[in-house]
Structures are given as structure tokens and as C-alpha cells.
Amino acid sequence: MPDYLTETNTIGPHAKIDKHAVVEYTKVGIATGIEAYCYVYNSDIGSFSHIAPFCYINAGQHPIQRPSLHRFTWKPTEYGINYEDDRLFIEERNSHKCHIGSDVWIGTGVTVMSDVIIHSGSVVGSGAVVTHDIGHYEIWGGVPARFIKLRFPKEIIDELLKIQWWYWSLDKIEQNMEYFRGDINNFVERFKK
């Protein structure tokens, strides 16, 4: 089990969350992996996605207008301070959510800022800082992250978005493994709608 996995999460079957990951207020889809030393907060993550080690998903802001930026200013009870938690700040912070689609690969050391959507099929290169939404099957990298290229031609992407294999049962995936290991054109031709 992760060092910190709260009861406020919904974790899909076959999801793998490393014991050193921290996951709070998050929905994780089927067979999605979250590696060591990741912090994932208030996010929705689709199925069959992978988040490499040392990633920060939904990098919340600190109250820079206050005398101190420290967490004790909104969660004093966590530090043994007998003062009520700042519910307004906590509600504001929790109103910001990240959405990560299915079949997404997020490389080592990526930071995804609040309110970002990373659509299905996308790749984010190691060390990137994502401040803007990423479209379907796009590859992004850098600081700040920028568009590099599409994973596939647009016609293939359109078909994959119709197929949406990530909603298939594991039995159907197992029955079609030869297509998953083969050429993308053969996969699309076999399953296009």
C-alpha cells in the first residue's frame, strides 16, 4: 500500500499505486499505474495510463498573500495547533481538479498544474511542467510544456477515439492482444467503427 492513500479515493481494478506514492481525493481507472514518490491530488485519471516516478499532479497553489506560505495556515490541526482549519481556503483549493484521460503516459518528474486536462492517448516528456490542456494523442515536453507532435496521423487518432479500446473488458483486450502488439494501422483497420 502507498504511504498515504486516503479513503477519499476511488481506485479501479488492477490499478498499481506504489507504496511511496501519495494519492488524495482522486479517481484512478482500471490498470492505471502511479509510480514511487508521486503526489496526486484531487484528480480524475482514466484507465491504462501510467504516471512515472516523482510526478506532481494538480500542483496546488499556496496562499502567497499571507505572512506564511506554509500548510499550517490552512490546516493547523495537522500540526497540533488548536485552531480550526481554513475551510474557505480548502474549498477553493479543492475546486481545482486535473483530468487525465486513458492511455496516457506521463514521464518521470512531470508537474501538472491545477485545472489542466490531458486527453487520452497523450504523452508528456520527463521533467515537463504542464500549464495548458493537452489534446488527444499529442506529445508535449519542456518547461513550460509545449506541443511537440502528434503520436499518429489525424485519421488514425479519429478512429482510435471512436474505438475507445480503454472501455473494453479485460477479456476482450486479452482476446485481441496480437493487435495491441502489432501495427497501429492493422489495429485501426480491425476495430474501426
Cα–Cα dist 191/187, whole Å: 6
Instruction: For 89, list phi and psi in degrees, rounded to 5.
Output: -65, -40
Catalytic residue among 20, 70, 99, 132: 70
Classify residue 117 as exposed, middle or buried by CB count within 10 Å of its CB (0-12, 13-18, 19+): middle
Do residues 140 and 107 lie in contact, with contact meaning Cβ atoms separated by under 8 Å?
no
Q: Is 70 a catalytic residue?
A: yes
DSSP structure class, residue 92: H
Cα–Cα dist 128/149, whole Å: 15
Helix (H) or strand (E) holding 138: strand 138-141
Do residues 108 and 127 lie in contact, with contact meaning Cβ atoms separated by under 8 Å?
yes
Q: Which grid cell is 14?
A: 488492477
| Torsion from C-alpha of 52, 180, 174, 21, nearest 10 degrees | 0
Helix (H) or strand (E) holding 58: strand 56-59
Catalytic residues: 70
